[in-house]
Structures are given as structure tokens and as C-alpha cells.
A and B are shown apart, each in its own frame.
Chain A
């Protein structure tokens, strides 16, 4: 595409004026069309992309908003907002300035593997974190501890565990440990059998 000479000239919403003839506002027309084209191309298929992609979005970049978004009746807002201790996260707000829900939560990555424990990490809308995986206790079952890494979970709301074997085992009891004040860091088990276990934990951060 030929870059017109008015590349750095801002969009002018006030042309043409009543006294202008078309020839005198030609540079403004040209510049305005160019600026519309460039602005629309951000996040969208270009205006001359053809019927397949024109007008559709490529990426939706949502700039950080200073607060909760205004949502009228009949609307749902999707926006980004900074979360303390994290960075910008995706939010939903329901109609009529209704409930605001944090959709993304934290940053999914592969937590560092620990000896005898496999950790997976995900989240649920509502600032909830899911930690799950499996662990393999030593021969001394009482006191076996698994780590809730990363150590960011304030309150555990649900925890489930199940042995992995070809015969049934009693479901062990457990105790939640807070080795960091205010953070549920690990879980200690009692009455474990010397087999592997699956676990699933939901908490907030």
C-alpha cells in the first residue's frame, strides 16, 4: 500500500467545511481515510481484507481499565483490570452494573515438580484456583505432606483425595498447614496406605 504523505497527520473530523471546495480538502480526505484504515486495522481484519475477514477481529486487546466497567441493561461487559498482587486480568460484568466476575485468575504455568508429587494448576471464574495431581507416599504413611505450590492460596474450599490401586482403601484424614501466615501451604495426611493418591483442591487467592 502506498503510504500517503499525511501519515502523521491526525484524523480531522471537521472536514469539509461549507466554504471548501473538494479540491482544497483533498489532503484531509486522503488523510482521514488513511487514519480510519490504520485505526480499524488494529484488532480487526483490514477494510480491504475481502469478504472472508473484513470487519472480523484478529485479536481483542483490552487495555487496563481504571475501575469496574459500566454495564447497562441488556449488556455484558468484558474488560481487563489490574488485580492486586497480579497483573491485568480478564473480567465480566453482567447487565445493569451487576455482578463482576474475574474470569482469568493468576497465571497458568507448570509449577516446579516436587519429589513424589505431580502438580497441575488451573482456575475457575471467581478468583478461584485449582491445584490437582497425584503423589506417592513413602512406607511411613502418617505425616506425609504434599505442597500446595505455588504458595498463594488463602482459603481451601474443597479438597478431595483418592487412592490409586486395584483394591479399595480407607479415605485418609488430613490437616491443612499454614507454614506462611495466611497462606495454606501444604496438607498433611494420616492413615495413608502405601500406594499412590490423586488429589484435587479448590481455594481462593
Chain B
């Protein structure tokens, strides 16, 4: 028997629906406890786990509140449910005159990589953040070209920044040049270029990098 909000009715006698009344009390307590501390416990009513079922439309947020919900988001990896937040519209104002709508903000992505050597996390807005380091030894008069393949593969790389690090020759820091170039055909990789130590002797080098991409 399930919860019935239309019980008991005036006919037949309420006594005849005793079982349904009891079921309603029992079902309410059982279902309430699925995401909340159960009734008759010290923390009754608090949330424990919050399971969000997938929504197909965004909530309208016009009152003084923040809505958090789950909705499908499309990325290079496919379509998967992600956590979204929507706040009340507050633009334009005196500082920011753009009449921007309070569009939903995707807060999550379904994967992170903290094991390295390439690390990956995410930024709100559907962006992936990749970072790590590449290293090698310079060859005189040969341009350094280290290709970094991003995993998981994104839709579009919008930023690829590399910074030279630990380039020394017999303890003396060597100024390095650096550039990056995104492969706009595959959109999953970029190459770090540098003149290295130019015609100087081979030295060990490394570049730390940071890339941001649309998931």
C-alpha cells in the first residue's frame, strides 16, 4: 500500500480506512528518511545524502533563493547529468551594466585527475582545467616542441599557457623563450615551443603548463 493524500474520505466510515491511515504515517516516515535524518532521531529533518533526480528544464529563479539541481550537460565525452546552480538575476547594476540573464551555471564535470603527471579538474561554467609539467634536454640549435595531449579530450581549448622552469647551466639561470600553439583540428592538444638554450650546450629543462578548455 502507498501513501494516499485523499484518505480518509467521509464515506465509508474512517474506521474502515484504518489500514490506509497507518500506511500513510508509515510511508511518510520511510520516504522522508531516504534523504533526511529520520523522524524520531536526534537530527530529524536534517539532510544526510541529497540525491537529485535529473531535470529536463531549468527552474525559474525570481525569488530570494539559490536553486541547485541536476541536469544533462553535453561535452566531448557525451551527455551526462551535472550539478547546476541558478541564482536570482542582479544585472545590470551600477558597476556592471551588462543586462545579463541569470543563466544556469554548470558547477561540475564528471571526472578529475589528481594522479598526474597531467592533472585535471574543472571550473564552473563547463570548463576543464588541465595542468602539469613536461621536461627534456635541449639540443643545440633545435627548437623544443613538446606536445601535450589533454585527457579527457575537450571540445575546444581556449587557453594554453606554459612557463619555463628550472633551466640552468652550471647553476646559472638561462632565459628561455616560450610559446604554445593549439591544434585546432583535433582540439585536444597543444605544443609548447621554445628556442631552448639556442646554440649553447644541452641543458635540462621543464615547462609547467595550464590549459583551460570547454568540456
Contact = CB atoms under 8 A, between A and B. Distances in A.
B35 A56 contact: yes
Contact of B124 (A44, A59, A122, A133): A122
Contacts of B93: 85
Which among B35, B87, B182, B210 has the highest number of chain A CB atoms within 10 Å? Answer: B87
B65 A26 contact: no
A88 B64 contact: yes
A86 B88 CA distance: 9
Contact of A48 (B4, B87, B180, B212): B4
Bin chain A's interface residue count. 35 or more
Nearest to A41: B5
Nearest to A198: B159
Interface string B76-87: 000000000101
B203 interface: no
Given A30-B6, A170-B175, A195-B179, A124 B65 contact: no
Contacts of B103: 108-109
Interface in B177-198: 177-182, 191, 193-196
Interface string A18-34: 00001101110110011
Nearest to A76: B47
B177 A168 contact: yes
A87 interface: yes
A54 B88 contact: no
A38 B91 CA distance: 34
Given A59-B67, A75-B46, A162-B163, A167 B31 contact: no
Nearest to B143: A167
Given A57-B53, A59-B67, A63-B65, A169 B178 contact: yes
Chain B interface size range: 35 or more
A192 interface: no
Contacts of A104: 66, 85, 87, 105, 107, 124
Nearest to A75: B46
Interface in A129-149: 130, 132-134
A22 B35 CA distance: 32
A47 B27 contact: yes
A88 B7 contact: no
A187 interface: no
A109 B100 contact: yes
Interface in B1-38: 2-10, 13-15, 18, 21, 24, 27-28, 31-35
Interface string A54-97: 11111111111000000000010010101001111110000000
B64 A47 contact: no
B97 to A, nearest CB: 9
A145 B141 CA distance: 34
30 contacts: A4-B5, A29-B8, A30-B8, A47-B2, A47-B27, A56-B51, A56-B53, A58-B55, A59-B67, A59-B68, A61-B65, A63-B63, A63-B64, A88-B64, A88-B87, A90-B68, A109-B98, A109-B100, A120-B127, A120-B158, A121-B125, A122-B123, A132-B158, A150-B95, A163-B180, A167-B179, A168-B179, A169-B179, A198-B159, A199-B159
Closest 5 CB pairs of A and B: A168-B177, A55-B34, A37-B5, A87-B90, A80-B66
Interface of A: 1-2, 4, 22-23, 25-27, 29-30, 33-34, 36-38, 40, 44-45, 47-48, 50, 53-64, 75, 78, 80, 82, 85-90, 103-104, 107-109, 111-112, 118, 120-124, 130, 132-134, 150-152, 160-171, 183, 195, 198-200
Interface of B: 2-10, 13-15, 18, 21, 24, 27-28, 31-35, 46, 50-53, 55, 59, 63-69, 85, 87-91, 93, 95-96, 98, 100-103, 105, 107, 123-125, 127, 143-144, 158-163, 175-182, 191, 193-196, 210, 212
